[in-house]
Amino acid sequence: MSQSITDALTELTFGRDLTTEQADCVFESLFSGEMTSSQAGALLMGLRIKGETATEVAAGVRAALREAKLIKGLNSARIDTCGTGGDGSNSFNCSTAVALYLADMGYAVVKHGNRAVSSSCGSADVLEDLGISLGTAAGEAREVLERDKFVFLFAPNYHPAFGKIAPIRKELGIPTLFNLMGPLLNPARPTHQILGVGRPEIMYLMAEVLALTNVDKAYVVHGAGNFDELTPFGINDAVLVENGKLSEVKINPADYGFAPATPEDVAVKNRPEALKTIRKVLSGNAPQAMLDMVALNLGAAISLMDGISLADGIEKAKVKVAKGVDKEY
């Protein structure tokens, strides 16, 4: 195996992409702990300088999932809503609100997330404040999902192998492909997904990885204003992943009756405000720009799950968001 690692690092030295076999080999070595810290640093730096391919990221995802605590026995359609983070927007927790709206409407939601990285308050922080457990174990997740239509899978509980890599990432101090992998590592393996990215240049990369890892249908979105969610600020970019095929989509909020808004309209200053805001959003009593942003993303999710047009999904979402969720938080 050590020779295979050396061969792969040599390829990266020349700026050449790894084959599927090479990528599978080096990531298996990385997550199993066979790779030395120096080799791991060289691998991550080499990939970063060259530019990661979908094949390489997909190999990392497969290797990480082999080490993860996966949720067994899930056979029906289920969706996740999450982004890569890093957009620096300090906006309210839109993707978390969308997930809770979906569950309230009867869709099965497997929300994978962590505490705040670039925002005032991460999905885990918000859900914890709303009384949703962060400690659901792999053996309990199916039962919780069947009961509540929602289960939160707190990433550190399901990916112990990342503990081996954390010191290397900290020492490098730069973004690596692991910053891309979070939304791709849901241990419940969602069949449908809304995946937001803050950098438009990685949209197709993430979409290709979703296609390679067998998601049924997904939107990879980059919102106007450089958000990792669809926004009502202007024309949004999206890539639709369906049955392994990719198609580019432009989503103009004005086409669906949404009023213009600005990033300031959906910003929250700090954690207390973020926690207060999510309750307003879930009750349908938040500022209109926030409700519109939820409806836009919720509509996209509904269109994926129901197999209907985006316009029909958004209309259904608007009605729901105007009412708020039935459950009290």
Tell me phi and psi for residue 112, to 5 degrees.
Answer: -105, 130
Which pLDDT value is given to residue 117? Answer: 56
d(CA 174, CA 191): 31
Q: Is the pLDDT of residue 169 over 90?
A: no
Helix or strand run (H / E) with residue 192: strand 192-196
Q: Is the pLDDT of residue 294 over 90?
A: yes
60 in Cβ contact with 40 (< 8 Å): no
Domain count, the chain: 2
Q: Read off the pLDDT band of 86 (50, 70, 90).
A: low
Q: Is the pLDDT of residue 4 over 80?
A: yes
Q: What is the CATH number of the domain that holds 38?
A: 1.20.970.10
Q: Is the pLDDT of residue 67 over 60?
A: yes
Is residue 329, in this structure, part of any structural domain at all? no
Distance between start and end Cα atoms, the chain: 52
Which pLDDT value is given to residue 315? Answer: 98
Q: Are residues 272 and 242 in the same domain?
A: yes
Q: What is the CATH number of the domain that holds 305?
A: 3.40.1030.10
Is residue 73, in this structure, part of any structural domain at all? no
Q: Are residues 100 and 7 in the same domain?
A: no
Is residue 263, in this structure, part of any structural domain at all? yes
Q: Are residues 139 and 229 in the same domain?
A: yes
Look at 39 and 179; give whichever has higher pLDDT.
39
Q: What percent of the chain has pLDDT over 90?
A: 81
Which pLDDT value is given to residue 182? Answer: 87
Is residue 61, in this structure, part of any structural domain at all? yes
Is residue 72, in this structure, part of any structural domain at all? no
Is residue 74, in this structure, part of any structural domain at all? no
Is residue 314, in this structure, part of any structural domain at all? yes
Domain extent at residue 139:
79-323
Q: Read off the pLDDT band of 105 (50, 70, 90).
A: very high
Q: Are residues 111 and 57 in the same domain?
A: no
Q: Is the pLDDT of residue 15 over 90?
A: yes
Provide the total of helices (H) and of strands (E) in the chain, helices listed first. 14, 7
d(CA 235, CA 214): 28
d(CA 222, CA 236): 6
Sign of the four-CA dihedral 94, 207, 176, 109 = positive
Closest CA to 101 of 303, 230, 284, 236: 284
Q: Are residues 170 and 264 in the same domain?
A: yes
Is residue 220, in this structure, part of any structural domain at all? yes
HSE (side-chain half, CA atoms, 13 Å) at 269: 2
Please state the rounded mean pLDDT for residues 199-213: 94
Which pLDDT value is given to residue 114? Answer: 84
Please state the rounded mean pLDDT for residues 187-195: 98
Please state the rounded mean pLDDT for residues 8-34: 94
Q: Read off the pLDDT band of 180 (50, 70, 90).
A: confident
